[in-house]
Amino acid sequence: MELVCPAGSPAALKAALEHGADAIYVGINNRSNARAFPGLNFTPETLATACQQVHDRGRKIYLALNTYPQSPDLPLWKNSLDAAAAAGVDAFIIAEMAMLDYAAKKHSHIPRHLSVQGSATNAASLQFFHEQFGICRAVLPRVLSLQQVQRLAVKSPVALEVFAFGSLCIMVEGRCQLSSHVTGKSPNCDGVCSPAEHVHWEELGQDRRRVRLGEVLIDEFQPGEAASYPTVCKGRYAGKDGRYYYALEEPTSLNTISLLPELTAAGIAAVKIEGRQRGPAYVARVASVWRQALDACQRDATHYIAKESWQQDLQYVAEGRQTTLGPYHRDWH
């Protein structure tokens, strides 16, 4: 399986290359990608340099064009796609149908992957995107159980990529309305969930902190408690038994390293690491662990066991210092 790692900066890209990534996914520094935080991503010029560095090492680089343009914004998305093609990317990761159509007609020689934001969760959907836009790979949303992934792999007309490690988007990708409800900026269209300009921290004294997203109180942290980036879906709210992650789910990172034999047997083409918003130290640690795990599974999948040292390394950089199998373990799916 291909190890696909994130890079939100040249330093992160270098870390991914040095620690075992087979492919690296990046974004242009505008709203055309879903990690449009200030200071992240690549200009057309730095992307061209990145492509050269990646190809010099015999690896691949993919462009994430995974947000949804409104009609007046189409030129920005098309220009971003054109710039990435000129820079020399090896594939496009696209969510929206108009952009898939544009890429298929204007840059037909560059492979097209359906983004996780395309929310394709069944064989009929994958068949549609394959027939209409010639996609050759699809990234599956992080809402499917292992059994659903296995069944879909049997029927899929295209190669499948799954998220392997990183922050969970517990709303169905490409359909979340929570951030736009609170801030007026949609992660699907504006490229960022919980925009930084809406995040406000308050010091309460004695090392206690409170965080708001706009006017909404998201969480309050006690002394020594790890504070995650505030998103509406992972806030603690008041309930009958006090404050807890009642609304949806507590902050944890998906970690499927124990499932590599099952994913391999299912014929999954690639495993993806989440985190273009994370720094090079995160990319280096996670890529290194997953490189070791993938190599071990390839050598002997029958006797493969995820090492405890790998789990500890991954938990150290996990959201909330916790990891989970997420929907993968939900056999009732």
Range of the domain at 198: 184-244
CB 164 within 8 A of CB 272: yes
**pLDDT of 42-82, one tens digit each?**
999 999 999 999 999 999 999 999 999 999 999 999 999 99
Alpha carbon dihedral 256, 261, 264, 268, in 10-degree steps, equals: -20
Q: Domain count of the chain?
A: 2
SS3 268: coil
Tokens read off for 169: 């988007």
Give domain status of residue 236, yes or no: yes
Instruction: Identify residue 47 by its one-letter amino acid code.
Output: L
Give domain status of residue 149, yes or no: yes
Q: What Rg do the C-alpha atoms of the chain give, in angstroms? A: 20
Residues 67 and 157 placed together within one structural domain of the fold: yes
In sequence order, what E strands does the chain have? 2-6, 23-26, 60-65, 91-94, 112-114, 137-139, 159-167, 199-205, 208-213, 216-221, 237-239, 242-244, 253-255, 270-273, 323-324
Residues 201 and 160 placed together within one structural domain of the fold: no
Residues 154 and 192 placed together within one structural domain of the fold: no
Tokens 């394959």 identify what position? 130
Tokens 């969970």 identify what position? 168
Final residue of a structural domain among 225, 244, 263: 244
| pLDDT attached to residue 237 | 82
Contacts of 128 (CB under 8 A, 6+ apart): none
Final residue of a structural domain among 227, 244, 261: 244
In what order do the strands lie in the sheet containing 216-221? 199-205, 208-213, 216-221
Residues 210 and 104 placed together within one structural domain of the fold: no
Give the mean pLDDT of 252-260: 94
Give domain status of residue 41, yes or no: yes
Residues 46 and 123 placed together within one structural domain of the fold: yes
Residues 23 and 57 placed together within one structural domain of the fold: yes
Q: What is the largest CA-CA distance in the chain?
A: 60
CB 178 within 8 A of CB 233: yes
For residues 313 and 291, give the distance between their C-alpha atoms in angstroms, rounded to a whole number: 13
Q: Does this model's pTM top 0.85?
A: yes
Residues 74 and 145 placed together within one structural domain of the fold: yes
For residues 118 and 120, give the distance between their C-alpha atoms in angstroms, rounded to a whole number: 6
Give domain status of residue 179, yes or no: no
Question: What's 7's DSSP letter?
Answer: -
Give domain status of residue 178, yes or no: no
Say which CATH number the domain at 258 has. 3.20.20.70
For residues 3 and 22, give the distance between their C-alpha atoms in angstroms, rounded to a whole number: 5
Judged against a pLDDT cut of 60, whether residue 145 lies above it is answered with yes
Give domain status of residue 234, yes or no: yes
Residues 204 and 260 placed together within one structural domain of the fold: no
**pLDDT of 187-241, one tens digit each?**
888 888 888 899 999 999 888 999 999 989 989 888 988 777 888 888 888 877 7
Decide which of 33 and 233 is more confident.
33
For residues 93 and 77, give the distance between their C-alpha atoms in angstroms, rounded to a whole number: 13
Residues 155 and 200 placed together within one structural domain of the fold: no
Residues 272 and 312 placed together within one structural domain of the fold: yes
Residues 313 and 205 placed together within one structural domain of the fold: no
Give domain status of residue 111, yes or no: yes
Judged against a pLDDT cut of 70, whether residue 95 lies above it is answered with yes
Tokens 């996990």 identify what position? 318
Judged against a pLDDT cut of 90, whether residue 13 lies above it is answered with yes
Q: What is the mean pLDDT of the chain?
A: 92
- How many C-beta atoms lie closer than 10 Å to residue 216's C-beta? 15
Residues 84 and 18 placed together within one structural domain of the fold: yes
Question: Of 48-57, 156-165, 240-249, where does mean pLDDT reach its minimum?
Answer: 240-249
Tokens read off for 30: 């505008």
Give domain status of residue 79, yes or no: yes
Number of H helices, E strands in the chain: 11, 15
Judged against a pLDDT cut of 70, whether residue 247 lies above it is answered with no
